[in-house]
A and B are shown apart, each in its own frame.
Chain A
Amino acid sequence: MGIQLKNINKSFNNVEIYKDFYLNLPVNEISCILGPSGCGKTSLLNMIGGIIHQDSGSIEGLKDKIISFIFQEPRLLPWKTVRANLEFVLKDVNLRDKDEIVDRNLHIVGLQNFSLFYPGQLSGGMKQRVAIARAFCYPSNLILMDEPLKTLDPKLKWGLMKTFLKLWREDQRSVIFVTHDVDEALVLGEEIFVFSRPPVNVKKRFTNPLNEEEKDMTNMEFFRQKNKIMDHLD
């Protein structure tokens, strides 16, 4: 079952961010929420993730969901090595082969040689790769991503998006990915929801028509789709 947000209301300091808001998100796909900064995208993820609560309304389809969260910043424990950071979220999980799961995910994000490094010894991009590996280690069926590529330079960003897709193809979970960047939305998103400024409504829903080869900034079709989406973005 997908995730259904029904009649959601949420205000911050008397500003209505969500007013009678409805949204259905599919399962086992990457749904991308694209919207201008400050439109309440993070709040939406936080409500789905149970970090904050809506003022009223309901979110259905979460009962069977186990959530991994990739935050804007890596959020690693500075006193734990890369490996121990992944193991930290697995501590209270009943899983066999935890070592193998950690090894496999570190390998996919290309950090197998850094497993004993502390976060302070890694670059920003490497730290965010650890956070992505941590999300995939955890036996979740829903991954929430809150603009985890925001602070990275373009080259790193494209590399990380490819890494993410590689991980996801081996292990297809439901993903809700929030961004204000159309490029990111077109590379990662399968369903793209364009949000308005608050109070939020879904201005447009796109099904991403691009195939793998077309997911390239220099591709004409990519450029065409990008412009099409831009027309709807505030």
Chain B
Amino acid sequence: MKISITKNKFITVLSVLFLIGLWKAGSMIVASELILPSPGKTAIAVGKLFINEAFIRIVGATILRGLIGFFISFLLALILGIAAGINDSFYAFLKPILVTIRSTPVISFILLALIWFDVSQVPVFIALLTMFPFICTNIIDGIRNVNPKLLVLAKVYRVKTRNIIRDIYLPAISPFIFSGISSAMGFGWRAIIIGEVLSQPRYGIGTFMQNAQTYLLVDKVIAWTIIAILLSYLFDHLIRSVENKVVVWN
């Protein structure tokens, strides 16, 4: 067990090194720092971003948008998801709406939101719409997967509804909620950054990525991309570690 974990970690490192090697080879073939800067030069660009005094504000603004969008969609998904999980008619009503939202290209929402809302609200709105269907669908699946035998058990032993919700429904759906949050966040960060690129709020990773692109600063575009990847990775890691603390029985 321990050996295989160490081995897998080694392979992970190897995979990252392979990607960087490929990039390095590409930049040597292209032989133009303007078109494809080398990993080394990009690393310097990333370093410069970190020491930039506005860095915290830029990344913080993106994170804040993500979190606001996430909390609104989570709350909405929890209420609607539980309702749809318990009531089949409401599920039939909600299902086409969820499918529509999920099938709509993100760019359509952005273009419409740019017309309807203030620029700083656009990415939040986009985050909300991309995350909501994932979390909602997972909560519905979770509730529909609650073992009916456990509910019979609770009924026979005359356990009250409040305790049935707390001790059967919530633990049963929690793994579903976590996996919903994880995929929602994965898509969410990407959608927020596209939203920022197009709506150009004052601070935001997307705003600065777009600025860099305008001036053909490829190293900076890639540097911001790396920041975005790290951001997404860190949040996924955070969700997984909270999950491991909550879902201890597996």
Contacts of A73 in B (CB 8 A): 149
> Which residues of B, 107-153, contact A by the 8 Å Cβ criterion?
149-150, 152-153
Q: State whether A88 and B171 are in contact (beta carbons under 8 Å apart), knowing that A71-B149, A75-B153, A118-B249 are contacts in the complex.
A: no
Q: A91 contacts B163, CB within 8 Å?
A: yes
A79-122 vs B, Cβ < 8 Å mask (1 yes, 0 no): 11000000011011000000000000000000000000011100
A80 to B248, CA, bound (A): 10
Interface residue range, chain B = 10 to 19
A160 to B246, CA, bound (A): 34
B211-250 vs A, Cβ < 8 Å mask (1 yes, 0 no): 0000000000000000000000000000000000001111
A50 to B172, CA, bound (A): 25
Q: A120 contacts B250, CB within 8 Å?
A: yes
Chain B CB count within 10 A is highest, among A68, A73, A88, for: A88
Q: B153 contacts A138, CB within 8 Å?
A: no
Q: State whether A79 and B171 are in contact (beta carbons under 8 Å apart), knowing that A91-B163, A92-B163 are contacts in the complex.
A: yes
- Name the residue of chain A whose CB is nearest to the CB of B157: A89
Q: B163 contacts A80, CB within 8 Å?
A: no
A61 at the binding interface (Cβ < 8 Å): no
Main secondary structure of the interface of A (DSSP, over half): loop
Contacts of A67 in B (CB 8 A): 156
B17 at the binding interface (Cβ < 8 Å): no
Q: A68 contacts B157, CB within 8 Å?
A: yes
Q: State whether A80 and B167 are in contact (beta carbons under 8 Å apart), knowing that A120-B249, A120-B250 are contacts in the complex.
A: yes
A71 to B159, CA, bound (A): 17
Chain A CB count within 10 A is highest, among B149, B150, B153, B159, for: B153
Q: B168 contacts A77, CB within 8 Å?
A: yes
> Which residues of B, 23-69, contact A by the 8 Å Cβ criterion?
none
A32 to B160, CA, bound (A): 31
Q: State whether A92 and B171 are in contact (beta carbons under 8 Å apart), knowing that A51-B152, A71-B153 are contacts in the complex.
A: no
A71 to B148, CA, bound (A): 13
Q: A69 contacts B167, CB within 8 Å?
A: no
A93 smallest CB distance to B (angstroms): 8
Contacts of A51 in B (CB 8 A): 152, 155-156
A215 to B167, CA, bound (A): 41
Contacts of B155 in A (CB 8 A): 51
Contacts of B167 in A (CB 8 A): 77, 80, 88, 91
A44 smallest CB distance to B (angstroms): 15
A69 to B167, CA, bound (A): 19
Q: B168 contacts A92, CB within 8 Å?
A: no
> Which residues of A, 21-75, contact B by the 8 Å Cβ criterion?
49-51, 66-69, 71, 73, 75
A78 at the binding interface (Cβ < 8 Å): yes
A152 to B186, CA, bound (A): 46
- Name the residue of chain A whose CB is nearest to the CB of B162: A92
B142 smallest CB distance to A (angstroms): 13
Contacts of A49 in B (CB 8 A): 156
Q: State whether A75 and B150 are in contact (beta carbons under 8 Å apart), knowing that A69-B157, A89-B157 are contacts in the complex.
A: yes
Contacts of B163 in A (CB 8 A): 88, 91-92
B172 smallest CB distance to A (angstroms): 8
A73 to B148, CA, bound (A): 13
A75 to B156, CA, bound (A): 12
A69 to B163, CA, bound (A): 19
A68 to B163, CA, bound (A): 18
Please give the residue numbers on chain A whose beta carbons come within 8 Å of chain B beta carbons, in ascending order.
49-51, 66-69, 71, 73, 75, 77-80, 88-89, 91-92, 118-120, 138
Other than the given A67-B156, A79-B171, A92-B159, 6 more pairs (CB < 8 A) read A49-B156, A51-B152, A73-B149, A80-B171, A91-B167, A92-B158
Q: Can you list 21 residue pairs at the A/B interface with Cβ under 8 Å?
A: A49-B156, A50-B156, A51-B152, A75-B149, A75-B153, A77-B168, A78-B249, A79-B171, A79-B172, A79-B247, A79-B249, A80-B171, A88-B157, A89-B157, A91-B159, A91-B163, A92-B158, A92-B160, A118-B248, A118-B249, A120-B250
Q: Closest 9 interchain pairs by CB?
A: A79-B171, A89-B157, A79-B249, A69-B156, A92-B160, A118-B249, A75-B153, A91-B163, A78-B249
